[in-house]
Structure 1
């Protein structure tokens, strides 16, 4: 069972305030044999964050540790790409271990799931914001009619749904909001979600990349073929389903590998799935700190992720030293891939590419 493979929780780090809430008690009851360690902060946990000796145990910690916390920053941020707004998250971190994930850049040497127990406050914040927005009067690339809220900026909601009802409750909230839909990207197929009552106000974005590359760097995720096949199932269940071609990683065979993936996608999707399909195309952004961490647990990944001859540095707005493909060359890569998408899957609208 996928749940048992991803999560074998033995230790729960918990803020006392999270344990006082019904959601915290509910999660605690799921693993009655787990050791409970009280912590002051869900960010600053000496056993996890900042301890470089944890690097070789990267995946094991994700399997065995869980953090229960209180989300303090309840702000809705403007976005404009994946969604109109980024909602306050109900979780942070992931049980999966994609080698390029940006979340560990903020969390130090370990990145298990942190679940926020104050779901009622999070939901109320979102509902108030959506109410203030009113009707969406002008269409944009996020959606022609509804305000779109990304609820999974710092986690994978399909996996989060294995742990608690947080995600399903937000799906229920947006079902009742006449002017908004929620959205999240995922690399995990959770068939339990097919039975959820979403009212057509949930957009799932399955992240895809060439399968051979995914086996190496999309660690602990659902196989790419399984993600592609799931698109049909979720469309049949009434969801809006898009794809994220992300991250696009330049290798010696990258364009041929993407051609193979696109032909697989075209051959698998039903007419109904194709009719509503749209895509985001996102090329790799890597990070010097994460590169150093990866060398300690997955050095093979860095052979394709860390390519100084192809990349240039760029300091992000939060001060991190990121690397991206050199701008002039990247423009060519973007043109090549978008042309290939338009040739093989002409029905797939490209929402944006960068």
Structure 2
């Protein structure tokens, strides 16, 4: 996959390879020990009401990694036996092999969603939005906790109307069990000057909506480049408009955070 906005390539030299760990046994043992030291979670937070949540896919898409490696399956097996911990990863790829893994509610999959027109422009070589929506009920039935990752939210002409259509599609796709456990995270676009330059060489049409200096402000990134995000003040209004829309369209969906 080669999503035009993704921060992962910036951490991997502007490529986005599948990630395989040779020391998976060490990783499993360390996570087990760490979760044991954590013990019982003292109270709820935005991540989860009861469990410590471990993001196992911060720098990759685990659904894709699982097509060539058992690393992800090993982690799902590990977490189903950890009483106070839960695995989590976001994905833009529907890998139905995961349906046979028996996660027992201890792995959270966050299907990343955006309006289909945006996805066709920006989510290069990922599963179509309609396919992701159609998979949610199946993954809930297979024992996964399924949330939605509404990101990145790209501000363009008609953006809020497009998100309203997507939220209607999501509501229509969900059965009662999926609705009962649904939660969302909402993340507005952060772009990067170096990725902007890379994109101009291979996918300049994406930059027509990603690089909007009239709407964005710059901030020095930890890696030395410049990140751009929607301007303070304006962004607050964008966030409020979308979260109000979610509340109206999906009143059963808890927004864990939005920024």
CA displacement at 1:265 relative to structure 2: 0.6
Residues 1:231 and 1:295: Cα distance change in structure 2 (over 3 Å): same
3-state SS of the aligned residue for 2:233? helix
2:91 maps to 1:186: yes
Residues 1:141 and 1:216: Cα distance change in structure 2 (over 3 Å): same
> Which of 89, 113, 121 is 1:208 aligned to?
113
2:104 maps to 1:199: yes
CA displacement at 1:106 relative to structure 2: 2.5
CA displacement at 1:137 relative to structure 2: 1.8
2:21 maps to 1:120: no
3-state SS of the aligned residue for 1:163? coil
Q: Structure 2 CA distance, aligned partners of 1:115 and 1:195?
A: 21
Q: Aligned residue for 2:229?
A: 324
What is the 5 A alignment of 1:112-261? 112-261=17-166
> Which of 188, 207, 211 is 1:306 aligned to?
211
3-state SS of the aligned residue for 2:67? helix
Greater relative contact order (Cα < 8 A, sep 6+) = 2
What is the 5 A alignment of 1:45-124? 96-124=1-29
Q: Aligned residue for 1:17?
A: none
Give unpaired runs (5+ residues) of structure 2. Answer: none
Q: Structure 1 CA distance, aligned partners of 2:256 and 2:168?
A: 20
How many residue pairs match? The answer is 259
Residues 1:298 and 1:346: Cα distance change in structure 2 (over 3 Å): same
CA displacement at 1:112 relative to structure 2: 2.3
Q: Aligned residue for 2:243?
A: 338
* Cα displacement string for residues 253-278 of structure 1 (whole angstroms, at most 9, x for unaligned residues): 10000000001111111111111100
CA displacement at 1:109 relative to structure 2: 4.1
Residues 1:138 and 1:192: Cα distance change in structure 2 (over 3 Å): same
2:159 maps to 1:286: no
TM-score between the two structures when normalised by the length of structure 1: 0.72
TM-score between the two structures when normalised by the length of structure 2: 0.98
Q: Aligned residue for 2:220?
A: 315
Q: Please provide the CA RMSD for this pair.
A: 1.0
Are the counterparts in 1 of residues 219 and 226 from structure 2 also a CA contact under 8 Å? yes
* Cα displacement string for residues 55-112 of structure 1 (whole angstroms, at most 9, x for unaligned residues): xxxxxxxxxxxxxxxxxxxxxxxxxxxxxxxxxxxxxxxxx11100112212334332
Q: Structure 2 CA distance, aligned partners of 1:246 and 1:329?
A: 18
CA displacement at 1:315 relative to structure 2: 1.3
Computing the radius of gyration from Cα coordinates, the structure with the larger value is: 1
* Cα displacement string for residues 267-299 of structure 1 (whole angstroms, at most 9, x for unaligned residues): 111111111100000000000000000111111
CA displacement at 1:171 relative to structure 2: 0.3
Are the counterparts in 1 of residues 145 and 181 from structure 2 also a CA contact under 8 Å? yes
3-state SS of the aligned residue for 2:105? coil
Q: Structure 1 CA distance, aligned partners of 2:15 and 2:193?
A: 16
Are the counterparts in 1 of residues 184 and 255 from structure 2 also a CA contact under 8 Å? yes
